A = this chain, B = another copy of it.
């Protein structure tokens, strides 16, 4: 299987995903601004993991995951502009929490393009397609490798086949069920689930996830 680069892979979400993939036998490449910190993180992962500077990491596989805070999304995309190549998929997990501008984590910013994912698409080089996913998976739960996952991942993108390819990678993690949630613009609604879950979490002292009911067995 192709290696999976995780840009911002030293952060809680990216590292948790990488650790889960590596455990499932998927080779991962942790990207970080600092190659040393990336390698340090990779060393803590059981399985096939390398650590590289973000730009270098992004070259290592056809489906690149971007798991950085919204505050840094634009900067990261600028840095990847000369790196990503036509045909690569960029999976954006960014959520425009108002916390990015010292507001509340239970509120969402309005993004001029409609959503963080659409901002990513606008900034991505020609021929690189953005799919959005993984907004609702709790980083602490991912990082607790003993915790069993049992939840859905809503996947947005303009082409079904792109989403199916991303879904295949996500489904390598036990207990995550990828669901086709619609066009990339639908990411605006999906990104809103994160501040909503944060609101629920603070009230119930949990790390909630989301599941859709009534779906058929065969989703892709």
Contact = CB atoms under 8 A, between A and B. Distances in A.
B211 A182 contact: no
Contact of A209 (B192, B199, B208, B214): B214
Contacts of A151: 213
Given A106-B186, A219-B204, A196 B213 contact: no
Contacts of A181: 196, 199-200
Interface string A173-191: 0000001111101101110
A215 interface: yes
A166 interface: no
Given A179-B200, A181-B196, A195-B189, A215 B206 contact: yes
A133 to B, nearest CB: 14
Interface residues of A, number: 40
Interface in A57-113: 106-108
Contact of A189 (B141, B183, B193, B219): B193
A207 interface: yes
A46 interface: no
Interface of A: 106-108, 138, 141, 150-151, 154, 179-183, 185-186, 188-190, 192-193, 195-197, 199-200, 203-216, 219
